[in-house]
Structures are given as structure tokens and as C-alpha cells.
Amino acid sequence: MQKFLVVGLGNIGSQYENTRHNIGFKILDHFAHKNNITFESNKLGTIAQYKFKGRMFYLLKPSTFMNLSGKSVKYWLSNENIPLENLMVICDDINLPFGTIRIKTGGSDGGHNGLKSIFEILQTQQYNRFRFGIGAKFSEGRQSDYVLGEWTEDELKLITERLDKSIQVITTFGTAGINNTMNTFNGK
């Protein structure tokens, strides 16, 4: 059975639960809810397993906080013997308008501390990323407050549809490959 590791980046703790920076956790929680699966606490994170069309998806929410996400990613890749090309990391992106989806096969960390940690631990930028646009509606010097701020009422009205689309991204990645996933969802 082919295995995939899908990592949602975020910070643990109720104070971060509804923040923009935790969109990775939010997407995986939505996936689990829609597919009636549950997360269990495990080493360096909470993990859920989902079998679909002959594939096993491991959904991981690192418990290491954002800045140390790489430790958790490396552990689970190794523990489950999952090849790097079957890794997808979900994170927020201030350089994309709210709700925009961008799938990439590599690239820089773009200033994202979770991606920076993964690069430092894995020693490569060549892994699949699912960037979810959160916009950049903040004044100079207020980026941290913005990404760690909660969703606005207008954003919350639109987010369910974007979460449903995000679930499709994950299953398409595992069943149709990264190139088809990029062609289908980028910019949508």
C-alpha cells in the first residue's frame, strides 16, 4: 500500500486554535471530521490514518510548535518509511490572497518558520507544499499579530468552502499525483 504523509502546520494550544497561522491544523481537522477519523496523540504530534483507493494517508499535526516542525516531519517520514515525494506540507501564506490555493514541489521557505525548520532538518527544499492564502491585511511591523490573529467574520463565512476544496487537494495528491494536483487546484 502506498503511503503519504500530509502535515498541517500550526501551533498547539487553544489560544492558537482559530488563528490564521493554524490553517494547516484547521484543514486536517476538517478532513478528519468529513471522513469520520480521529487524531491520536503520538510521538511529536497527533496523527490520524485514512485509507483511500489503496493508499494510506497519515495526517500529522506536529506538537513541536511551528518553529520546530521539522523534527516531527522527519520522525514520521522515517517511522512510516514514507518517501520524500509522498510528503505534502500545508501552511499559511501571507503573499497569497485569502483562500487562494498554491501547490508547489519545492521552493524557499518564504519567511515561514515552519518551512524553515523542515528545511533545516530534512536538508532539502524539494518537497510538496500546499500554501493556503491568508492575505496580508496588516500594517508595517504587525505581521506577527496578523498571522497569530483570529479569522474575521467575513473570512469565516467563506472558509468552509475553501476547507472542502482543501480536502480534495489532499486526496488528489495521493491518487492522481502532484502534477495533476497543481494543474487542477493552483489559483483556485
Q: Are 73 and 6 in contact (CB under 8 A)?
A: no
> HEC states along 115-135?
HHHHHHHHCCCCCEEEEEECC
Catalytic residue among 21, 30, 33, 112: 21
Alpha-carbon gap, residue 178 to 182, rounded angstroms: 6
Rg (C-alpha) for the chain, rounded Å, is 15
Alpha-carbon gap, residue 98 to 128, rounded angstroms: 20
Ramachandran bin of 161, using left for φ above 0, alpha for ψ from -120 to 50, beta for the remaining angles: alpha
Question: Which residue, chain included where needed, has cell 514520521?
Answer: 76
Q: Which three cell numbers stand for residue 28?
A: 486536517
The answer to whether 33 is a known catalytic residue is no
- Classified as helix, coil or strand, 178 is helix
Q: Which helix (H) or strand (E) holds 44?
A: none
Catalytic residues: 21
